Copies of this chain bind each other. A is one copy, B any other.
Amino acid sequence: MKKNTECTQQFLGKQSISFAYPVYIQGYAAIVGKKEGEGPLGKCFDLVEQDDMFGQKSWEEAESIMQKRCAELVVEKTGISMEDIRLIFAGDLLAQSIASSFGIGSLDRPMYGLFGACSTMGEALGLGAMAIAGAYGDRVLAATSSHFATAEKEFRFPLEYASQRPLSAAWTVTGSGACILGSKKSNIKITGITTGRQTDYGLKDSQNMGACMAPAASSTIVQCLKDFSLNPENFDKIITGDLGYIGQQILLDMTEKEGYQITDVHEDCGILIYDQKTQDTHAGGSGCGCAAAVLTAYILPKLSSGEWKKVLYVPTGALMSKVSFYEGSSVPGIAQGVIIEHVEEEK
């Protein structure tokens, strides 16, 4: 096709895109809550808010203001103004995405709301990269958030019940991460994406999300490696969103069965963000904000410095609601893959 040769972005293999025009990550920021600040990555975040209410009257308002502040912070850190943002891609876990509508949505920029559960940061980066490489704008903002208290209220029990949590349960991260993508060169770029397909192994345990999402992570990682003709060794790290300890083990088994040994390079944002032994977080962290905050506080700085040259970032989402759970439905998973690389300085 004329278009594809003239305008050389390409779709690759079964479900990937290789960007002919590199998409640069020009800025990134992370804001988290107190507990996340006390974890192993505590010193990496831009801001650790000690008040879980973020000065607001409700948990939902707290999450919205956290997400909005994170967007304002990344704009400030990047040295641009909010008007320079051509498009926003944002989402969260709450019903009808109200954290984003009342958060980033209030910033008066053109916006697309997304829902991919905890995979949303991967979706936002993927669509944002498509927008930049397609020349639909000079700068776009990708951001997500989650809040422990809003998620417990949305999916589980009121906090006041003090329900016991099974060891397979994850702890929803209070945090937000935001990136600015653009066409102007920086030292980190997105070179490709692998869009996720839903997988559904029929699992129904909403207190074991890692197991529900692991097949999706395996599907996206294996397809990414096939579509780009790469091996796990081509990456410094393959980092999933929030599989946690149980999901990680399932992922490693599944990818090995597909012929890919990723044990040496695999990390998981949900495992990285908390100290399981001292923080009572059981299977690990979860939530849209988990993968987003670990990306912007930990992964991108290492890619920026050149300590890592190439990372496959794979946020994972469990697609369920209270209603689907109560009606006995399974919990399908989805994972969105993004290839992020260090850019060498020109000599």
**Of residues 69 to 115 in A, which have CB atoms within 8 Å of B's CB atoms?**
86-87, 91, 93-98, 101-102, 105-106, 108-115
Shortest C-beta distance, A289 to chain B (Å), equals: 16
B residues less than 8 Å from A162 (CB atoms): none
Does any Cβ of B come within 8 Å of A178's Cβ?
no
- Binary contact track A124-161/B, C-beta < 8 Å → 1, others 0: 00110011011111100000000000000110000000
Does any Cβ of B come within 8 Å of A165's Cβ?
no
Does any Cβ of B come within 8 Å of A47's Cβ?
no
Are the C-beta atoms of B126 and A112 separated by less than 8 Å? yes
Are the C-beta atoms of B114 and A112 separated by less than 8 Å? yes
| Complex: A7 Cα to B132 Cα, angstroms | 12
Are the C-beta atoms of B111 and A96 separated by less than 8 Å? no
B residues less than 8 Å from A102 (CB atoms): 324, 329, 332
**Of residues 192 to 208 in A, which have CB atoms within 8 Å of B's CB atoms?**
195-198, 200
B residues less than 8 Å from A61 (CB atoms): 327
Shortest C-beta distance, A338 to chain B (Å), equals: 13
In the complex, the chain B residue whose C-beta lies closest to that of A126 is B112
In the complex, the chain B residue whose C-beta lies closest to that of A198 is B105
In the complex, the chain B residue whose C-beta lies closest to that of A17 is B136
Shortest C-beta distance, A74 to chain B (Å), equals: 19
B residues less than 8 Å from A7 (CB atoms): 6-9, 21, 134-135
Given contacts A130-B131, A198-B108, A332-B105, contact A98 B136 (CB under 8 A): no
| Complex: A126 Cα to B137 Cα, angstroms | 14
| Complex: A3 Cα to B182 Cα, angstroms | 12
Are the C-beta atoms of A115 and B117 separated by less than 8 Å? no
Does any Cβ of B come within 8 Å of A11's Cβ?
yes
B residues less than 8 Å from A106 (CB atoms): 198, 200, 332
In the complex, the chain B residue whose C-beta lies closest to that of A108 is B197
Does any Cβ of B come within 8 Å of A173's Cβ?
no
B residues less than 8 Å from A200 (CB atoms): 106
| Complex: A12 Cα to B123 Cα, angstroms | 25
B residues less than 8 Å from A320 (CB atoms): 96, 98, 101
| Complex: A15 Cα to B108 Cα, angstroms | 11
B residues less than 8 Å from A58 (CB atoms): 327
| Complex: A283 Cα to B226 Cα, angstroms | 52
Other A-B contacts than A7-B8, A111-B334, 5 sampled, CB-CB below 8 A, are: A15-B110, A96-B321, A96-B324, A101-B320, A101-B324
